[in-house]
Amino acid sequence: MYEIGHFIGGKRVAGSSGRTANVFNPATGEVQAKVALASDAEIHAAVENAKAIQPAWAATNPQRRARVFMKFVDLLNQNMQELAEMLSREHGKTVEDSKGDIVRGLEVCEFVIGIPHLSKSEFTEGAGPGIDMYSIRQPVGIGAGITPFNFPAMIPMWMFAPAIACGNAFILKPSERDPSVPIRLAELMIEAGLPAGILNVVNGDKSAVDAILADPDIGAVSFVGSTPIARYVYGTAATNGKRAQCFGGAKNHMIIMPDADLDQAANALMGAGYGSAGERCMAISVAVPIGEETANRLIDKLTPMVESLRIGPYTDDKADMGPVVTKEARERILGLIEKGVEQGANLAVDGRDFKLQGYEDGYFVGGCLFDNVTPDMDIYKTEIFGPVLSVVRAKNYEEALELPMKHEYGNGVAIYTRDGDAARDFASRINIGMVGVNVPIPVPLAYHSFGGWKSSSFGDLNQHGTDSIKFWTRTKTVTSRWPSGIKDGAEYIMPTMK
């Protein structure tokens, strides 16, 4: 049993609220740690630390800020195995999958090494008689990030890397389910040369979130989680005068055209649907084969693949996926599977009774495959966030296209085809934020922006890419004229550029 506190002012500190939460080992069901849950006073202490140091960090030239991230990337690579095992121990995903989690965050840190270029603005000489005009991007001051359990390394780095590179201080409130890695990342940032107090990690629950949203010194908030909470965070932040970007749930479809390579499509569905036990906001959870022949062939290919999934603890280096994160998550997934059966879907592969010898109390769910799912069923409408793939059969391309178009969520979508015209039409017409063409998990690389549409995203600017630089800075426009160009006497009319 170990204890996890907070990281404030460049060092680990114990919690002082007297409230804690259990951190479980998802493979065994055992409590392995206690994590402190912050009080309003602890949130305030983190903000005060950030407030004291942020002006000096903002005044640090961008090349020097970039050098911190150069060193941090090097440290991430040096400590990759330690971080991955730490992440897997609390989350449950395989170690190799955890390394992928870390690397996708590392890539954003590599991107922000270009902050001297990314933060450049515009200048117009001679905008008017004797007048020059220029814009500058300045940090918002203190930013905050509220991150989910499923990517405890990647998503914190997606938030704090661009925020800090832009000259802000940052308050990170990670998930209390797997809190160790975010604190370790903060330690590595200090080792990389970040001044103490610029990155603070405060663990907590809803009360910590509310304290962040209420604090007048926090200027911008980034959130990833469920749609109901995303709406709450976005609305509350806006009411309190904060900039916000909030990312919610998903129900990602893959359209399989009759001309698609079905072996390729089946392999893609397995990785995208069952990797990380389906606990990814970009997981493919709905397969849409077009035509009965395509659907029947796809089911024939998928069924033995799902049945042969290797499921084990993170210590099993041959496992395809591990357990889900908590007992409550497992019970919710099983309840939705049961609902799917009740509503008439065909459960072609039933993983509900999966048990792993020696890990009977772990939060394992076997791979499940539904066929003949219809849009009125709960398993279609709801983000299951587990190892469950639903097959919805479509008669033709237009019917297939309509499914993701009409769904509440608009995070990611994919099409598998050999037809370039179909792929181009699909990418142009679909009302989804991230589109894959023969790519099952279309998460953009760090220099493009990540973000969904519809109920999957709230706010005008996305994560990473150039959107992140815009989100974590404010534009100031300066109009400048020097005495030689100034006429004598007052002017009472509206200035124009005649």
CA-CA distance, 60 to 308, in Å (whole number)?
Answer: 55
* Residues whose CB is less than 8 angstroms from the CB of residue 264 and which lie 6 or more positions away in sequence, other chains included: 416, 438
Nearest by Cα to 283 from 179, 150, 152 = 150
* Nearest in space to 87 (alpha carbons), one of 189, 200, 179, 7: 179
Instruction: Give the DSSP H/E element, type plus range, for residue 175.
Output: none
d(CA 403, CA 374): 10
DSSP H or E run through 208: helix 206-214
Token pair for 96: 């190799």
The answer to whether 26 touches 92, Cβ cutoff 8 Å, is yes
Residue 48 bridge partners (DSSP): none
HSE-CB of 246 using CA atoms within 13 angstroms? 23
Which tokens belong to 216? 């007048």
Rg of the chain over Cα atoms, rounded to whole angstroms, equals 25
Query: What residues does 135 pair with on adjacent strands?
Result: 477
Left if phi > 0, otherwise alpha if psi is -120 to 50, otherwise beta: which for 445?
beta
In DSSP terms, which residues pair with 12 in a beta bridge?
7
Strand partners, 463: 450
Contact 2, 32 (CB under 8 A): yes
- Residue 262: how many CA atoms within 13 Å on its side-chain side? 15
Query: Under a CB-based contact definition with an 8 Å cutoff, are residues 148 and 225 in contact?
Result: yes
Nearest CA to 346 among 387, 299, 385, 400? 299
What span, in angstroms and rounded, lies between the C-alpha atoms of 291 and 301?
Answer: 16
CB-based contact 288:373 (threshold 8 Å)? no
Neighbouring C-beta atoms of residue 131, cutoff 10 Å: 16
**Tokens 């181009």 correspond to what residue?**
424
DSSP designation for 386: S
- The helix/strand/coil state of 246 is strand
Indicate the DSSP class of residue 115. H
Q: Which two tokens stand for residue 408?
A: 């509440």
Closest to 158 measured CA to CA, from 385, 451, 456: 451
Q: Which residues are catalytic?
A: 281
